[in-house]
């Protein structure tokens, strides 16, 4: 099959410890190889920056919430328009792009893998229908378990085998990759318009606490030996003073022993969960406290959830927070309860730099990344499109690389913001290697995708490669941030499975990517008890029949199925 040689590359491949080495990269049949013959197609990188293809461990790119965002916001779909070409379908949208723009824009930035962060099992077929139409990139998704009746009943009855069996079944039914927990227990409470107030507030009618839900799912996750850890959106998101709940949530998994070489807990878009104070008047950044925790503990990773000024479409399984947002800002509100499983809400917001607490939020995301010493512990995300759309990752990269860039942006933000956060006091500037960790290597490690050949350029890895039009040796990113941002926005080349899919920032080919999901073996007795309960729930409470529930193979046309073995902890 095809061979490709990238000559004279300046390579940053943190998983393999390669830090700006000048090297050639050989590709054969879609994989990185040691060497190839003389006749291969050659790209002379001329010393330009080469990264593994970008990986996004937390983004909302497909499914009913995303589509509700599109339906609600025709004004958003009227932006970002690009007519169809011989190669590409039309692009639409900024915060909620159409499926084609999703894939094209990730690829244009040198990203080759993105994981959808919230799949309700009952609506997973829809999620996969959209994922199947997102071109070029590889995909996967995290399945929602945090307010599920099967989960809560098993936890209340202290039946961990049954819980693990259900998680395995739910991942199979949704063709999911990992366990997502959003505002644990709060989704069920929202079924009657309520919420849970903290980790020890029992879920109405189910008599389990958010703390128990997190702990038990973390244990089940390890019994199933899943590639990814549990992936947590904490309780009390968006409330002043919520950092205490966040720290308390971190602690729940402190003594969980991960079965794999990864964290025991990933906590997502922590920007929204790092608020001190008692109300919006005295709200303040507690990013320093959160970072301090991360600097002293090794069992967890987080992602930033960086906020981007301008239009955002917030969408989350945290139903109550969306209602509160909509009422506070008099914004449009969509809600999407899913029987027995979870809830969700979609609300468009506009983050203005003239509002001090938005300025503070802008600061917090970066503070988390810069005050946490180990770059592997904090991934770069915007929680697309909650903090802002993923097309702004290059903006975030340059903010982290340049104090001067930050100062320039700070000058555009209402000064009062900086009475509530500390970003203006931070001098740290990340380098090319750090950015490679925060945008690809770290994401692959956190998701458990290194073994799948993602996030690195070692022999046997997928030949997913980004070449950026920038020469690290001749570029001072702390000063030339505009040039760096331009380069990151439009890759000189994006190579997917050894094939050039982007050249000079333009799409040149649109192959279909793969979808990763996990099939786990479970304990037999636990499975039987789970099935008994599940059949009862379908008979009595679900509005569809069990035979019609599970995502069929037709909806995942290019699957990569990772099998895992069950083990008692």
Residue among 111, 166, 190, 488 that touches another protein (CB under 8 A): 190
Residue of 355, 347, 365 whose CA lies nearest to 285: 365
Q: Angle at which helices 160-174 and 524-540 pack, to 10 degrees?
A: 60
Region 206-225 residues binding another protein, contact defined as CB under 8 A = none
Residue among 87, 459, 544, 567 that touches another protein (CB under 8 A): 544
CA distances from 562 to 171, 177, 516, 519, 526 (A): 11, 9, 7, 6, 21
506 binding another protein? (CB under 8 A) = no
Half-sphere exposure of 453 (CA within 13 A, CB side): 20
Residue closer to another protein (CB basis): 68 or 401: 68
99 binding another protein? (CB under 8 A) = yes
CA dist 556 and 178 (Å) reads 16
CA dist 328 and 307 (Å) reads 19
Residue closer to another protein (CB basis): 31 or 82: 82
Contacts of 149 (CB under 8 A, 6+ apart): 188, 206, 340, 341, 537, 541
Segment lying near another protein (by CB under 8 A), choices 36-44, 323-331, 377-385, 397-405: 323-331
347 binding another protein? (CB under 8 A) = yes
CA dist 59 and 139 (Å) reads 11
Give least dist CB 29 to another protein, A.
31
Residue among 24, 244, 333, 499 that touches another protein (CB under 8 A): 333
Residue of 22, 33, 28 whose CA lies nearest to 4: 28
CA dist 31 and 429 (Å) reads 33
Residue closer to another protein (CB basis): 151 or 290: 151
100 binding another protein? (CB under 8 A) = yes
DSSP string, 490-525: S-SEEEETTEEEEETTEE-------EEEEEE---HH
CB atoms within 10 A of CB 315: 30
Residue closer to another protein (CB basis): 66 or 117: 66
Segment lying near another protein (by CB under 8 A), choices 111-119, 227-235, 254-262, 544-552: 544-552
Residue among 18, 72, 154, 360 that touches another protein (CB under 8 A): 72
Binding-residue pattern over the window 442 to 481 for another protein, x denoting contact by CB under 8 A: ----------------------------------------
The β-bridge partners of 91 are 82
Q: Are 205 and 187 in contact (CB under 8 A)?
A: no
Binding-residue pattern over the window 509 to 528 for another protein, x denoting contact by CB under 8 A: --------------------
Region 115-174 residues binding another protein, contact defined as CB under 8 A = 122-123, 125-126, 129-130, 133, 149
First to last CA, the chain: 44
327 binding another protein? (CB under 8 A) = yes
Task: Enumerate binding residues for another protein (CB under 8 A).
Answer: 62, 64, 66-68, 70-74, 76-78, 81-84, 89-93, 96-100, 122-123, 125-126, 129-130, 133, 149, 190-193, 205, 323, 326-327, 332-340, 343, 346-347, 540-545, 547-548, 552, 554
């Amino acid at each position: 099959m095809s061979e490709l040689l990238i000559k004279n590359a300046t390579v940053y491949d943190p998983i393999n410890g390669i830090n700006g080495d000048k090297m050639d990269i050989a590709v054969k049949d879609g994989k990185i190889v040691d060497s190839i013959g003389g006749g291969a197609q050659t790209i002379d990188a001329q010393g330009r920056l080469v990264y593994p293809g970008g990986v996004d461990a937390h983004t909302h790119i497909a499914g009913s919430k995303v589509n509700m965002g599109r339906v609600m916001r025709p004004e958003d779909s009227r932006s970002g328009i690009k007519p169809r070409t011989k190669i590409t379908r039309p692009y639409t949208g900024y915060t909620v792009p159409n499926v084609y723009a999703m894939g094209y824009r990730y690829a244009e930035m040198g990203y080759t893998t993105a994981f959808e962060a919230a799949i309700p099992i009952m609506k997973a077929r829809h999620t996969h229908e959209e994922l199947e139409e997102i071109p070029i990139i590889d995909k996967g998704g995290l399945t929602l378990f945090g307010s599920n009746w099967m989960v809560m009943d098993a936890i209340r009855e202290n039946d961990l085998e049954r819980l693990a069996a259900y998680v395995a079944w739910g991942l199979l039914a949704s063709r999911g990759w990992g366990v997502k927990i959003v505002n644990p227990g709060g989704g069920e409470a929202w079924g009657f318009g309520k919420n849970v107030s903290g980790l020890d507030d029992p879920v109405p009618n189910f008599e389990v606490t958010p703390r128990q839900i997190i702990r038990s799912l973390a244990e089940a996750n390890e019994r199933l030996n899943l590639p990814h850890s549990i992936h947590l959106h904490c309780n009390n998101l968006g409330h002043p003073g919520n950092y205490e709940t966040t720290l308390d949530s971190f602690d729940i998994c402190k003594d969980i022993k991960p079965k794999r070489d990864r964290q025991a807990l990933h906590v997502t878009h922590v920007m929204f969960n790092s608020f001190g104070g008692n109300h919006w008047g005295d709200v303040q950044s507690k990013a320093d406290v959160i970072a301090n925790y991360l600097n002293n503990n090794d069992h967890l990773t987080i992602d930033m959830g960086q906020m981007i000024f301008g239009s955002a479409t917030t969408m989350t399984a945290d139903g109550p927070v969306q209602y509160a947002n909509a009422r506070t800002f008099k914004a449009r509100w969509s809600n999407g309860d899913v029987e027995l499983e979870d809830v969700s809400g979609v609300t468009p917001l506009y983050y203005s730099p003239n509002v001090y607490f938005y300025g503070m939020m802008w600061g917090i995301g970066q503070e988390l990344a810069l005050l946490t010493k180990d770059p592997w512990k904090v991934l770069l995300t915007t929680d697309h499109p909650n903090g802002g759309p993923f097309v702004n990752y290059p903006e975030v990269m340059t903010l982290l690389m340049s104090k001067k860039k930050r100062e320039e942006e700070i000058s555009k933000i209402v000064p009062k913001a900086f009475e509530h956060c500390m970003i203006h006091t931070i001098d740290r500037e990340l380098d090319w290697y750090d950015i490679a960790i925060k945008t690809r290597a770290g994401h692959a490690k956190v998701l458990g995708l290194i073994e799948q050949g993602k996030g690195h350029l070692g022999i046997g890895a997928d030949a997913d490669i980004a070449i950026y039009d920038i020469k690290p040796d001749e570029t001072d990113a702390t000063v030339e941030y505009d040039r760096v941002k331009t380069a990151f926005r439009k890759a000189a080349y994006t190579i997917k499975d050894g094939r050039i899919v982007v050249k000079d920032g333009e799409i040149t080919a649109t192959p279909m990517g793969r979808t990763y999901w996990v099939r786990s073996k479970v304990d037999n007795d636990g499975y039987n008890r789970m099935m008994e309960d599940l059949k009862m729930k379908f008979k009595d409470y679900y509005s569809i029949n069990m035979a019609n529930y599970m995502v069929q193979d037709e909806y995942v046309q290019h699957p990569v199925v990772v099998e895992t073995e069950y083990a008692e902890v």
